[in-house]
C-alpha cells in the first residue's frame, strides 16, 4: 500500500494519494488545484489515478477534482448527500472501493457538512484498519465546526448534533491503533484548536482531544458552536465553486512582470488590489500607497482571500523569486486573476518612477499604547478571533476579527487615530494597511501585538 500525505502550511491543508502497488490503481483524496505533485508521485510509483474523492465540499480552498478529471479522466466521488453540477459518484456508508488488495471503506460522517465522509484504509479487505482519512470531521485536537456550509434545511445545531453522533458512534468506535489523517491542521478556520501534528491515532485523540471527552450532547453542541474563528467571506464563494463546473487551473501559468507605469495605474484603479507580500518590517519601512500588506511568510492564501475578493484583479509586490508561488497560493482559493508583479530591489527600494507613492507605516509600541489609552487618544481595534480573546484582552479594545474588517468599516469611530492589534503583529499589519487602503489615514499597528502587551502587563 502507498499512502502519501501532502501538506501545505499556507492553507493548513492535507491531501492524500492512496495506491496499490500490485495493481497500480490509485485515488487522490481532497486534492488542491495544483496537481503536479500527485501526477509526479503516481508516475514514480507506477500508479494510475482512477478516482478523486472529496470528503466534503470544501469552503477554504478550491479543490482540484476538475483538474485531475481533465488530466487523468478519473471519476469524482462525494458522500451520498452531495449534489454537484458535474457527474459524481455518490459514495454510501459501508461501501468498499477496491484498489486491488488495498481496500477503502466509506464512512458517512456528517457534522461539518451533511455530505461529509471519512475513508477507512486497509492493506487488504480482512486486515485491521491502518488509517482513517477524516476530512474535516475529526481533527488532531479538535473537530470540524458546523457553521461553514449548511446543505439542506438543517441548522448549525442540527449539524453539531450530527457531529456528536459521528464521533461517538462511528469514528471513536474504531480501534485505538488506527492512524487519524485529517484534511486540515493548526491555523485552519475550519476549527478552533487544531494541533500542529499532522497525524495521530484514535486512541490518542480519545485521551487528549477536548472535543471528544465524555460530555452530554448539549454540552458538545455548546462547545463546538462557541468561539470559532470568523469566517472569511470567500469561503461561501469557494464552497459554491466546488459544487459547480468551472475553469480549471493552468498548471504552467506564469504571471508577468509589470512596469512602474502599469503598477501606478493599478494603484489608481478601484477594481485592482495591490498586495504587498513582503515582511511586516519591510512594508512598514517603505511601501506603495493603497497597497495592502499580506506577508508571504504567514497565512498568505487565506488572508489574501480576506483582502481581495475571489475574481478581483491582483498585482503583487514581492521579493525576487517569490511572485509565482504567491500567485499560485492565491489561485488555490480561486483568486486566479493575479495580473502581474513588481519586485523590489535587494535593499527593498522601489523604482524611481514610483518614488512619489512610497509611504511608511506608523507603528505603535506597547509603552506608547499605554499612554495613548490613558489619554483616551485612540480607538484600539482587536482583530483576533473570538477564541483568541478568551485568553485575554487589552481593556477598551473594540473586537472586529480581521475576516470581518472590510464589512464592518461603518462601525469604526472616526474621531480619533486608530491602532490595530492582533496576537503577534503579522495580522495587524494586514488590518492597518487594509484600513489605510480604504481611506483611513491615521492608522497604526501594535508592534508585537497582544503577546507583547501581555508580557508587560500580566504576571507570569
Which positions are catalytic? Answer: 422
SS3 162: helix
β-strands 179-182, 338-343 pairing: unpaired
How far is CA 64 from its chain centroid? 15
Angle between helices 36-45 and 65-72 (to 10 degrees): 40
Q: Where are the beta strands (DSSP E) in 258-312?
A: 272-276, 287-288, 292-293
DSSP state of 449: H
Inter-CA distances, 38 with 18, 49, 328, Å: 10, 9, 16
Q: In whole angstroms, give the CA distance from residue 298 to residue 228.
A: 20
Q: In whole angstroms, give the CA distance from residue 5 to residue 14.
A: 6
DSSP state string for 15-35: EEEEE-TTT-EEEEES--S--
**SS3 annotation, 341-372:** EEECCCCCCCCHHHHHHEECCCEECHHHHHHH
Which residues, including other chains, have CB under 8 Å from residue 460's CB and lie 6 or more apart?
none
* Element (DSSP H or E) covering residue 239: helix 234-243
Amino acid at each position: 500500500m502507498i499512502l502519501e500525505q501532502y501538506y501545505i502550511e499556507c492553507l493548513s491543508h492535507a491531501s492524500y494519494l492512496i495506491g496499490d502497488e500490485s495493481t497500480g490503481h490509485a485515488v487522490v483524496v481532497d486534492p488542491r488545484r495544483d496537481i503536479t505533485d500527485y501526477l509526479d508521485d503516481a508516475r514514480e510509483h507506477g500508479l494510475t489515478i482512477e478516482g478523486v474523492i472529496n470528503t466534503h465540499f470544501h469552503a477554504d480552498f478550491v479543490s482540484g477534482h476538475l483538474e485531475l478529471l481533465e488530466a487523468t479522466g478519473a471519476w469524482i466521488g462525494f458522500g451520498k448527500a452531495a449534489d454537484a453540477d458535474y457527474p459524481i459518484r455518490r459514495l454510501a456508508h459501508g461501501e468498499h472501493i477496491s484498489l486491488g488488495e488495498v481496500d477503502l471503506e466509506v464512512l458517512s460522517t456528517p457534522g461539518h457538512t451533511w455530505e461529509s465522509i471519512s475513508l477507512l484504509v486497509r492493506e487488504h479487505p480482512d486486515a485491521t484498519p491502518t488509517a482513517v482519512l477524516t476530512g474535516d470531521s475529526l481533527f488532531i485536537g479538535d473537530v470540524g465546526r458546523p457553521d461553514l456550509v449548511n446543505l439542506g434545511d438543517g441548522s448549525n445545531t442540527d449539524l453539531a448534533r450530527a457531529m456528536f453522533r459521528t464521533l461517538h458512534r462511528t469514528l471513536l468506535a474504531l480501534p485505538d491503533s488506527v492512524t487519524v489523517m485529517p484534511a486540515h491542521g493548526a491555523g485552519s478556520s475550519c476549527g478552533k484548536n487544531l494541533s500542529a501534528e499532522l497525524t495521530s491515532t484514535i486512541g490518542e485523540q480519545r485521551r487528549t482531544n477536548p472535543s471528544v471527552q465524555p460530555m452530554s450532547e448539549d454540552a458538545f453542541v455548546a462547545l463546538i458552536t462557541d468561539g470559532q474563528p470568523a469566517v472569511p467571506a470567500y469561503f461561501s464563494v469557494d464552497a459554491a465553486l466546488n459544487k459547480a463546473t468551472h475553469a480549471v487551473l493552468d498548471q504552467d501559468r506564469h504571471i508577468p512582470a509589470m512596469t512602474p507605469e502599469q503598477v501606478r495605474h493599478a494603484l489608481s484603479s478601484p477594481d485592482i488590489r495591490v498586495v504587498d507580500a513582503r515582511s511586516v518590517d519591510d512594508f512598514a519601512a517603505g511601501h506603495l500607497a493603497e497597497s495592502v500588506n499580506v506577508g508571504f511568510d504567514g497565512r498568505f492564501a487565506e488572508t489574501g482571500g480576506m483582502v481581495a475578493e475571489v475574481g478581483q484583479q491582483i498585482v503583487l509586490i514581492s521579493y525576487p523569486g517569490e511572485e509565482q508561488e504567491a500567485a499560485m497560493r492565491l489561485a488555490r482559493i480561486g483568486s486566479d486573476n493575479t495580473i502581474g508583479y513588481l519586485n523590489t530591489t535587494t535593499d527593498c527600494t522601489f523604482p524611481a518612477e514610483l518614488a512619489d507613492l512610497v509611504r511608511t507605516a506608523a507603528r505603535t509600541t506597547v509603552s506608547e499604547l499605554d499612554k495613548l489609552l490613558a489619554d483616551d487618544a485612540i480607538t484600539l481595534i482587536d482583530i483576533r478571533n473570538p477564541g483568541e480573546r478568551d485568553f485575554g484582552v487589552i481593556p477598551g479594545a473594540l473586537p472586529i476579527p480581521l475576516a470581518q474588517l472590510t464589512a464592518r468599516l461603518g462601525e469604526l469611530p472616526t474621531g480619533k487615530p486608530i491602532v490595530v492589534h492582533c496576537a503577534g503583529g503579522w495580522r495587524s499589519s494586514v488590518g492597518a494597511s487594509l484600513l489605510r487602503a480604504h481611506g483611513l489615514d491615521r492608522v497604526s499597528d501594535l508592534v508585537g501585538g497582544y503577546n507583547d502587551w501581555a508580557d508587560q502587563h500580566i504576571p507570569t
